[in-house]
Structure 1
Amino acid sequence: MSDWQVISGGVTAPRGFRAAGIRAGLKPSGLPDLALIVSDVEAIAAGVFTTSVVRAAPIDYCRQRLQAKHSARAILCNAGQANAATGEQGWLDTLESAMMLGQALNIPSESVLIASTGVIGQRIKMDALKAGIPNLVAAVSETGGDAAAKAICTTDLVPKSIALETTIGDRTVRIGGMCKGSGMIHPNMATMLAFVTCDAAVSPSLWQKMLSRAADQSFNQITVDGDTSTNDSLFALANGQSRTPAITEMGAEAEKLEAMLTEVCQYLAKAIARDGEGATCLIEVQVTGAVDEEAARKVAKTIVGSSLVKSAIFGRDPNWGRIAAAAGRAGVAFDQENLRIQLGDFLMMEHGQPQQFDRAAASAYLKAAAAGAYLKEDTVLISVSIGNGAGSGTAWGCDLSYDYVKINAEYTT
């Protein structure tokens, strides 16, 4: 039984946050493409970013901002153009975007975080952005979380958001989150754009540590296609508007808050994997028996990222040999005589020995997962044990379908 409950509102569920999403003309499709999250007061800010050396201008901008100032009031995100590999002009566009929003909100530009998503190599359409910012600011409301979540989507089939509520002391505390991601997803932080809001009061260093640990157990554990983006960003704002005493060190209250933060991040991460480009089902790989959690997570990520495993699941082929092969090449030492593999309820290998199982029934299990897309029953569960260690880890991904190639073959044409 969890210590929290799901509530509505997304990023605007926590007190003191407003949001908006509008059509600014940045996307050729004419769909919503400009989002804003605003805190009523300066909020403690933390961030985790892509490890790619080819980075979008907003990545470098936000890294500098958060190193100099561990707080923010607003997050501005455009969809349509990634503003990555855009040279000096891309940097200047980012600075101008922050300045324009700061002026519109009457806050310092240093309190604005910027994120972009879309086609790499394309500058933001600055004329459209400039014209859209006044409309965006005018649209912010305490019920704007859903609109904001829609406005950051690119190839996503569905917007992704959640909000949770718990009690710390005698006060209600809420965490909301939204994200986008469907392709170019691979565990190398952060593999997408995600924005989290919280109304607790937390010290900057502790909030950053909490977010980094949550990312390691969520966004760093998903993969769709093995490609890490140039724009991957995870931001978290905590504005203290729940009026709880400040949490400055680990303890029962901090652990409760971090557990809820991790739950929000895991929900969003799985939503990205579930919505992988061309996907028909979510794959969850649970690994136990490793020497430590890092080793277990590494094996899980390797299995869920295997193109052969993903293809077999799309073909509804219970080919467990591909799972064994992926585990063996993960770079984690283990005795293959300890290897155990289970697909759903079907035991396929025990103590390194093949087991008899009903192949037709196992194939039907995979078909049923595809038929339950976007529902709880859409998950293919792979359980792997590699020894007797205490380390365990989970990773999430999706199958690899014909449509993935079609979507990405025609992405800019």
Structure 2
Amino acid sequence: MLLLKLAFRNILRNRRRSLLTLLSMSGGYFLLATMISMSEGSYSHMINLFTQDHTGHVQIHYSDYLTRPSLNKTINNVDELVNNISGYPHVKSVTSRVYAPSLAYGKNKTFPAQVIGIDPKREAATTLLELKVKQGQWLSNGMSESGYFPALIGVSLATNLNLGLGDELILISQGIDGSIANDIFIITGIVGTADSYERNNVYLSLGAIKQFLAMHDQAHEVVIALDHQSRAMPFADALKLPQNLNAAPWQKIEESFYKSMQVDKKGNYISLGVIMFLVSIGVLNTVLMGTMERTREFGVLKAIGTRPKMVFMLIIMESFILALASCIVGMLLAFAPIYYLTYIGLVMPEPIDMGGVEFQIMLGEFSAFVLLVPAITVIGSTLLVSLFPALKAAKTVPVSAMQAA
């Protein structure tokens, strides 16, 4: 308690300098907190857009399907697998997909297309595909009134084939049994934009594509959406699957996007480090000046029997109190901006592209991580730069100190 009283007395003895130091560290906390909030919030927003777009958080495939896709590399008994995974903790939705390269024919033109079979209800709960229908209506199970299965077609493919709503689309592919697959479908919706993932895709219901490709209870991909993207890696690692199946998190499925995001994050951390370095230099200067001004005082303390450890702890405690107070002030200052960034965000005049994902609203993040990391950084850097002045004060020789004064 005596040490604490002395530390408070020394801080309040030169109030102007202590106030300037406190404001400097509070500014550092404020900048760190707002920048980390923007950084983490923007990355989380991008990841959510990316995973909800079409990848999901975790995907299941046949062992080497991702590296060497093939029509015959299927997940068998897929309905049972989907139902089992749906009951796992943290799972929001699960859906299965079938992929088949195809030749699309419309009126007098042909064009290559990727045909994707989906469960309309499960797909709508897992991704944003339903919201991307620009014309017509969302895909339905069963046949249309004309007796053909309905199809969603990408906007670029529709333009290339000169097709619109209600037109017939002919697809030619290879069945899973090696036979020629061909059938007529009715376009009931046009999906995506000219720059989106869906632009050259054709979407059929699972019932339609399984009949088209002569498949049974099979799929090429199972997509899992979790309650938070951070659970993807541990969930994929913990998922128990048959020996020939692999679970991969979105970080592995879209590795280029993940790596580009990590590089950008490292750049932000360097900027944050520069800010804290500048703040730490100011703190070091203040603590060092305060220590040198009290050389005679430390000499007297040592002369009356104060141990070097106590002198060292006195300087460290003064720095800690200033750092803690600055974090409290900085937190109060940063609370309103972080709240605004988290729930309203900043609308940019032009969208930013990150790994193929465009986003126009920069959102912040309000979390314990955003508030605690700057506090730990400010307090830690303050104590670090205070070590040298504290050691210098602890090694003070009473006679020399009093003679120098």
Q: Give the alignment's TM-score, normalised by structure 1.
A: 0.27
Instruction: Choose between structure 1 and 2 for higher RCO, CA contacts under 8 A separated by at least 6 residues.
Output: 2
Give the structure with higher Rg (CA): 2
Compare the two structures and name the one with the higher helix fraction.
2
